[in-house]
Chains A and B, each alone.
Chain A
Amino acid sequence: MSWHSELLPPSLTLSNLVKELSKADSEYKRAGLSVQNRVVFLGLRVVQRVAYNVGWAVGNNRWR
């Protein structure tokens, strides 16, 4: 179902992570965030991505 695509995480590869962080940083720059703010947000983004993907992997194994 196409609605699910909003929940589906990208694979946790370095290349995907770099793309995601690059896109996020562009958004932060457009919003006028300070360098410090951007760095903190990018760090949180990494934590969010890794945590969500690990949870997804565990959930997937559980529900199969």
Chain B
Amino acid sequence: MPYFKQTQFYGGAVFVTVVIPTFNRASSLERCIRALPSDVEVIVADDGSTDETALVSDRVSHPQLHFVRKGNGGPASARNLGIHHAHGDVVAFTDDDCVPAPRWPHQLAERLRSEPATVGGVGGAVLPLKDGWISRYSTFHRILEAPPSISYLVTANCAYRRAVLNMVGGFDETIRTPGGEDPELAFRVRKAGYTLVHEASAVVHHDYRESLLDFAKTFYRYGRGCARVVA
């Protein structure tokens, strides 16, 4: 697989990379980055934004922030680009419309470190950033969290061992719109013999759009993408 690097260890400590795919959400991206601790590597994978996303790197001060850019191809390919540039043993994922809690990436990494090597990934909890009907509904039903069976993880809040991501080849880039790529990756990770766990203390806050049309579009994309997983 030419796309991925070998795992590198830094003094034996678990080193975390946070990968954030982004497309035309400069202000919420800035908010997300500002919430991250300074002792993690942060890779923003710009999926061909045409707004002021490129200027965010000048506005945000973070000692380990890297912007990488590609032509528009969807969040799966953007995350893979982030994985390609990551140095961490653990790669945590969140979205540009999320605000992670202060220790979020460390909590995911610490959970993976405490688990046997057969655990390939961990998901966390997603709470709403603001109040609204769609926020309440999505939170009640834990739409952006792993299901109770933990059969898959959701990239609004999850982390995988980088060696595991390397082994399975990352996200399926043929899924070009958000939806489906999360369970598709998780199923391949499980097929490779790994299990997934949930860490409720690792929290991100998601900024749900309180629009019925956007709500419907989101689930339409989920259905379309998940049909690909099962095909």
Choose from B134, B136, B183, B224 the contact partner of A56 (Cβ within 8 Å).
B224
Q: Taking A3-B152, A6-B149, A47-B212 as contacts, is the C-beta distance between A55 and B227 under 8 angstroms? A: yes
B1 within 8 A of A: no
Q: How many A-B pairs fall under 8 Å by CB?
A: 91
Interface residues of B, dominant DSSP = helix
Give the size of the chain A interface in residues (CB under 8 angstroms): 28
Interface string of A5-38 (1 = CB under 8 A from B): 0111100000000000000000000010000010
The answer to whether A40 and B137 have CB atoms under 8 Å apart is yes
Partner of A55, one of B187, B212, B219: B219
- Interface size for B (C-beta < 8 A) is 32
Q: Is the interface of A mostly helix, strand, loop or mixed?
A: helix
**List of B residues within 8 angstroms of A7 by Cβ:** 183, 226, 229-230
**B-side contacts of A60, CB under 8 Å:** 227, 231
A44 lies within 8 A of B151 (CB): no
Chain B residues with CB under 8 Å of chain A are: 133-134, 136-137, 140, 147, 149, 151-152, 179-180, 183, 187, 190, 212, 215-231
CB-based closest 10 A-B pairs:
A55-B223, A59-B227, A59-B224, A51-B219, A56-B223, A55-B220, A55-B224, A52-B223, A63-B231, A7-B226
Please name 9 further chain A to chain B contacts, defined as beta carbons within 8 Å, in addition to the given A3-B151, A7-B226, sorted by A numbering. A3-B152, A6-B183, A41-B140, A44-B133, A52-B226, A55-B179, A56-B227, A58-B223, A59-B226
